[in-house]
Every structure is written in structure tokens, then in C-alpha cells.
Chain A
Amino acid sequence: MKILVTGMGGELGTRVAQLLEQRAWATEIVGVDFVPPRRRLRRAEFRRIDPRDRDKLVRFVTDVAPNVVAHFGVYEPSSRMTPESAVERTELATVAALSAAARAGNLEYVVVRSGLEVYGPRSASVSVPDEDALPAPRTPYGESLLEVEAIAAGLRVQHGVGVCALRYAPVLGSHVPSPLGRLLRLPVVPVPAFADPPFSVLHPDDAADAMVAAIERRFDGPLNIVGPGAATPWQAVRLGGRIPIPVLPGLWGPAAQAVELAGAAIAEHVVELLRHGRTGAGSRAVDALGLTNLRPTQDVLRELFDWADVVPLQMVRGEVA
């Protein structure tokens, strides 16, 4: 089976490629991204292509003619690029890679990375949405994810391929570039003054396991992938030993600008998470994909905060000498 991993240069794309290398059924693993993989890969082949070079990407995917596409070419705003650039690259990568893969003629199955952001802010009536809840995104990232799902669903209609959308909770980890993770590691963190809604997160290893399990089991449809339990903004900040700064509802714009000056740009979907929370019902994925031992939200947060500080090389040399 020939598998194309788009976004292989990201943390999740690289982890999935490593897991696929251990599977005998994944006979050929090919990846593409605008940055190289983050770890050494033994079997997988990688081609560095910027999604904005549409023709090159289409030619490459057409030549590969994959049986399965694991689509991680979905870029989170303020993670590794500006919000505008993230939305543009996501759209270009999705349209070019998926349509070229379908036209190549061998495509059987597509899994796309999506997120709980597609549900929009928690409402008074639906605070823990399952996959049957109507998506109603209110942020550019949520809209971008829903568009990715829609493009992939179009392949199901036009080409009869199976399509799965993995709606991840925010993925946090010491090596995962994430605006939420960066924000929570600041010494002083803005939190809502009059609310403390729960949010759930996901460990990157669990996110990668879910992608491989979806390919193995060929699940068709959307699935929420969520770590058990939750945390609230005030609690998460204290868990990391940081200082919470209450922000009044109308002052999130200036607060976001101040935080960006401190080195952690926060996009709209992160502000939405802090103000309204973000959780989802993940039991369907647990049953459908056989996901066991998903790491609880608070364990993921503890691991994020336990990340060792950067050690200056000069000091290390001195100690060795």
C-alpha cells in the first residue's frame, strides 16, 4: 500500500511517518511539506515542496499516485506562520494534494486532520459536542478546518473513496509548535476575568496513533479525538506555576497584542478557547479506532510544563571541563 503523508515536516506528520515505517502493510511511504521532517526517517521518502508552488505539488502527487492520503497539510494560525499565510497554505495544500491524488486513479482512502474548532464556541446547550453536532466555526482556523473536511468529503461523492476527518483537541507537547502551548508557558498568562470554562487537549503521540488506526481500520466519517478529562484556563496557569492576569471581555484585543510582544502570538481560536472552552465527546473514536490509554488532559499539561528549560551550551562546556 502506497501512503502519501502531506505535512510530513510537522511534528505530527513526522510521528505518523515513523509509525507507518513500523507497519509491514505500508509498503511505500512518501511525504511532502515545505519544511523537512523533524526526525530521522528510515524508509519514508520526502520531497520538499511549498504548497504555494501548486503545479509542482500537483505533478509530484500525480507521480506518486497514492492508495491512501494522510493529510496533515493543515496549518494552525500563529503556530509556525501568520494566520493569513496558514489559511492560504492549508487551502492550497488541500485542494492540490487531494484532487491530484484522486485524479491519479489509485486512491482508496483519505484521512484529514481537523479539529474541535469546527464546532465553534461551546454553547449553553451543547458544551460537549459529539460528531453529530452541527459544525458552526467562528474563527478563521475553524472555518479553514471545515473547508478541508468539505474538500475531502467531495472526493467521497465524486470518486467513491472513504474519507475520515479526525477532529483533534488542541495538540500540546514540548516539541509541538502551538500558540496555546506557547501562551501557557509565558510567565504571566491572560485568562478571562468572569469565566473559567473547561478545555481538553491531546498528546501528540495519541494524535499520531489515531491517524494510523484510522488508516488501518478505514473508518468513514468524522471522529473527535480528545484526551480524557479537562482543565480550565485559571487552573492550567496555576498548574504551570504561572501568574494569571484577568482580562475583561472587551479587552482581549489589546491583551493579544501585549502577549504577542512578549513572544507568543495568539490567534482568534486560542482566545475563543480561553473565553468559551473547548471540549468534545471522544467515545466514538475510542470504540471505532480501538484507542486505549489516551493521555488525560492534565497529564499532557503537566508534561508541557515539565519541559526542561534550555540549557546554555557555555555552562555545559564549563561543567564538562
Chain B
Amino acid sequence: MSRDFGLDTDHSSAPEPIGPALRRRLGGRYPIDPFGFDPHLCDLLYPAVSGLVRVAVSGAEHVPTDGGAVIVANRGFGIAEPAALAVAVRRATGRRLRVVGAPALPIAGSALRRLGAIASSYEDLSAALRVGHLVAMPLAPTWMRTGAGMPPLALMQATTHTPVIPAAVVPGGPFGTALKPWRVRFGDLVRLDEPYAPDDPLTAARFAEAVREAVSGLLT
């Protein structure tokens, strides 16, 4: 994983004091990755985000500390799940999280890419996994986040060569139902019972079903 200006694009760092950080921003001395991710900005925003979106993490040992992997999680219609998941991953492993689903909007899309969003496409997900990023892929939204939605089949085809970790995200405050912390629970790697060929489209469908069941199991 590349390091520019002393910052790793995969592993997080402690935020700089505001003075040096501002000088660094004004001088352009911070890394950017080909997806538009800005790790220095994320480090600066992390204390505020983790204070606003409090998270309780369980199953942290299931999240890989290195290499490409996909975390498949449930989601509702809110915007706080990606933040809760990113805070949980950072707390569990110190890694940065990319999240599938950058909107195709001129300013908002660009801003979210700075924070780790990538396009919801087979091509960009494959590229991110190939270079060893940890990527969160949400299931289809469900009402009140009570269940595991349908997995995106087209994207699942990009994940058959990498570890897939199920995760359950249960809302808390301030964007959830009460002033409780969000609960993020990671499960064991999703495995198929029978041998499989990773490039077979049916394999992606089998993984999709297996991961949906795994997320459902974590939610109950």
C-alpha cells in the first residue's frame, strides 16, 4: 500500500494538530488515491465523526488486518451506516474503509469520494479489491434496518476471489431511534459448503445467498 507524505492509504493515523494540518492542506502536501480518497482529510474528521456516531463493536477479530476484503452489511435509508461501519472498522483494525455507492452528482459525489466512497460498479469494486482495499458493500435497504436486503448480484461477481465478511449494523443515536450507540457486529468469513469456481456466475449467486443468510443471522 502506498505512503505519501508519511500517510498510509490503507491504515489510519492520528489526526495532526490544526496548525500543521492547515499548512499541509494549503501546500497540497497530502495523498490522494486514484478513487479520489483523501486519507489526511479522513484523519482530521475522525474525532468529530466518532464523537457524533458512537459505535459499539463486536466480532472485531473477523475483520482482516491486511489485504483486499469485502464487508457486506445491512442498511436502511439513512446516511449514518457507512460512518458507523467506518468507525467500527477503524476501531477494530485501524484500517480505512471504502464504501460502495458514490452518487453520480457533481459536488456531493466528489466530496463523498474524498471520504472513501467508490462507484457502485463491478469495475471499480474489482479495482479496489485488487489493490488490497477493505470495501464495505451494503445490501439493498430494508425498512428500519430490521433485516438483510437483497445482495447486489452484479457486484457480488467481483467478490468471489476475496474474503467476504458479514456485518450487522443496528442503529443508535443521534440518527437512530434513541441516544444509544450504534452496534456493529462482524461475523465469520462467508464460506460455501461445496467446492466452487470463482469465475462461475453461479458462484456469485451462491455467495450472495450465503452472505444474506449470514447477515440475517447476525441481526437476530
Q: Please give the residue numbers on chain A whose beta carbons come within 8 Å of chain B beta carbons, in ascending order.
A: 124-130, 132-133, 194-198, 200, 226, 228-232, 234-241, 277, 279-281, 283, 296, 298
Pair B121/A281 contact, Cβ less than 8 Å: no
Q: Complex formed: what's the CA distance from A194 to B109 in Å? A: 11
Q: How far is the CB of B55 from chain A (nearest CB, A)?
A: 29
Pair B2/A126 contact, Cβ less than 8 Å: no
The residue from B32, B107, B118, B121 contacting A232, defined by CB atoms under 8 A apart: B32
Pair B120/A125 contact, Cβ less than 8 Å: yes
Pair A281/B130 contact, Cβ less than 8 Å: yes
Q: Assess whether B35 is interfacial by the CB under 8 Å rule.
A: yes
Q: How far is the CB of A131 from chain B (nearest CB, A)?
A: 11
A125-B120, A283-B131 are known contacts; what are 19 more A-B pairs with Cβ within 8 Å? A124-B102, A124-B109, A125-B121, A125-B123, A126-B124, A127-B34, A127-B124, A128-B123, A130-B126, A194-B107, A195-B107, A198-B35, A229-B9, A230-B33, A236-B28, A238-B27, A240-B28, A281-B131, A298-B4
In B117-174, the 8 Å CB interface with A consists of 118-121, 123-124, 126-128, 130-131
Pair A296/B4 contact, Cβ less than 8 Å: yes
The residue from A124, A125, A239 contacting B28, defined by CB atoms under 8 A apart: A239
Report how many A-B pairs have Cβ atoms within 8 Å. 93
Question: Contacts A238-B28, A239-B28; is A129 near B123 (CB within 8 Å)?
Answer: yes
Pair A124/B119 contact, Cβ less than 8 Å: yes
Q: How far is the CB of A234 from chain B (nearest CB, A)?
A: 7
- 30 example contacts (A-B, Cβ-Cβ < 8 A) are as follows A124-B119, A125-B119, A125-B120, A125-B124, A126-B124, A127-B35, A128-B123, A128-B127, A129-B123, A130-B126, A132-B123, A194-B106, A198-B33, A198-B35, A228-B2, A229-B4, A229-B32, A229-B33, A229-B34, A230-B32, A230-B36, A232-B32, A232-B36, A239-B29, A279-B35, A281-B127, A296-B2, A296-B4, A298-B5, A298-B31
Q: Count residues on chain B whose CB falls below 8 Å from chain A CBs.
A: 33
- Chain B residues with Cβ below 8 Å from A133 are 123
The residue from A126, A231, A279 contacting B123, defined by CB atoms under 8 A apart: A126
Q: Complex formed: what's the CA distance from A236 to B30 in Å? A: 10
Q: Complex formed: what's the CA distance from A85 to B128 in Å? A: 39
The residue from A128, A194, A277 contacting B124, defined by CB atoms under 8 A apart: A128
- Chain A residues with Cβ below 8 Å from B128 are 128
Specify the chain A residue showing the minimal Cβ separation from B114: A196
Q: Complex formed: what's the CA distance from A281 to B127 in Å? A: 6
Q: Please give the residue numbers on chain B whose beta carbons come within 8 Å of chain A beta carbons, in ascending order.
A: 2, 4-5, 9, 26-36, 102, 104, 106-107, 109-110, 113, 118-121, 123-124, 126-128, 130-131
Specify the chain A residue showing the minimal Cβ separation from B111: A196
Q: Which of B9, B32, B123 has the most CB of A within 10 A?
A: B32
- Chain B residues with Cβ below 8 Å from A200 are 34
Specify the chain B residue showing the minimal Cβ separation from A278: B34
Q: How far is the CB of A304 from chain B (nearest CB, A)?
A: 13
Specify the chain B residue showing the minimal Cβ separation from A244: B28
- Chain A residues with Cβ below 8 Å from B2 are 228-229, 296
The residue from B28, B106, B120 contacting A235, defined by CB atoms under 8 A apart: B28
Q: How far is the CB of B60 from chain A (nearest CB, A)?
A: 29
- Chain B residues with Cβ below 8 Å from A226 are 34
Q: Which of B5, B33, B120 has the most CB of A within 10 A?
A: B33
Question: Contacts A127-B118, A281-B130, A283-B131; is A198 near B123 (CB within 8 Å)?
Answer: no
Q: Complex formed: what's the CA distance from A40 to B33 in Å? A: 38
Q: Complex formed: what's the CA distance from A197 to B9 in Å? A: 17
Q: Complex formed: what's the CA distance from A124 to B127 in Å? A: 15
- Chain B residues with Cβ below 8 Å from A194 are 106-107
Q: Which of B9, B106, B124 has the most CB of A within 10 A?
A: B124
Q: Complex formed: what's the CA distance from A19 to B120 in Å? A: 42
Q: How far is the CB of A104 from chain B (nearest CB, A)?
A: 40
The residue from A129, A195, A237, A283 contacting B110, defined by CB atoms under 8 A apart: A195
